[in-house]
Amino acid sequence: MTPFPALTSRSVVLPQANIDTDQIIPARFLSTTERAGLGKHAFNDWRWRADGSPQPGFAFNQPANAGRQILIAGANFGCGSSREHAPWALVDLGLRAIVSSQIADIFRNNALKNGLLPIVLDEAVVQSLMQRPDDELVVDIVACELRTPDGHAHRFPLDAFARTCLIEGVDELGYLLLREPHIRHYEEQHHAR
C-alpha cells in the first residue's frame, strides 16, 4: 500500500444519514472479479438515470465538485453489506477521506485497507463542515487533525496501528505474515488436542 499523501481538498457533501454500501455500489456491480474500475458505478442509482444520463442534482455530478477528495456524509456512513467494493469504488472515484459523525465498523476496516481515511468528528462539527464545502480542508494524518481555513483544528480518533500503516504504507498482510512463529505456536498448542 502506498503511504497516505498530504491531503488538501474541498469537499463533496452527502448530508443524509445511513448511506449504506448498497447505495455506494449496488449489488449488480459485484459480479466483477476485479477490484479496479468500480468508480463509474459509485453511487450508481443516485448518480445515473436508468438511461445512463447523469442525475443533474446529485453532488458528484456537479462540475464544481470534480476532483474533490473529501466526502462529508451523514451519520452511520457505510452501514450494511461488508462488500469491499464500496471503498474500492470510492477510491476509484478519487476520494481519499470520508468525514462523518459515525462510520460503520466493517466499512471503516475495509476503507483503511485501501488508503481511504475514515474521519469521525462530532455531529455539530460535521454539520458545520457541510455548510462550507468550498473551504480547503487540510487532513493531517500525523497529527490526526482536520484543519479548516479559519484556523480550527479538529482532532479525530485513529487507531495507532492504522495510522502507522497509512503513514508508512505498511500493508497488514505483510505484518500478519511476519507473525508466523506465533501462529504456528498457537496451532501447536490448540490443535494438538
Per CB under 8 A, residues contacting other proteins are 15-18, 20, 22-23, 26-28, 30-35, 45, 50, 74-76, 79-85, 87, 102, 104-106, 109-110, 113-114, 159-161, 164, 172-173, 175-177, 179-180, 182-183, 185-187, 190
CB nearer other proteins, residue 39 or residue 138: 39
Nearer to other proteins, 9 or 41 (CB): 41
Q: Which is nearer to other proteins, 107 or 146 (CB)?
A: 107
Smaller CB separation from other proteins, 11 or 46:
46
Dmax of the chain from CA atoms?
A: 63
C-alpha cell at 24: 455506494
What is the CA angle 44-123-148, rounded to 5? 85
Residue 151 Cβ vs other proteins, minimum distance, rounded to whole Å = 30
Cβ neighbours for 71, distance < 8 A, ≥ 6 positions apart: 11, 12, 13, 14, 90, 95, 97, 98, 99
What value does the CA radius of gyration of the chain take, rounded to a whole number of Å? 18
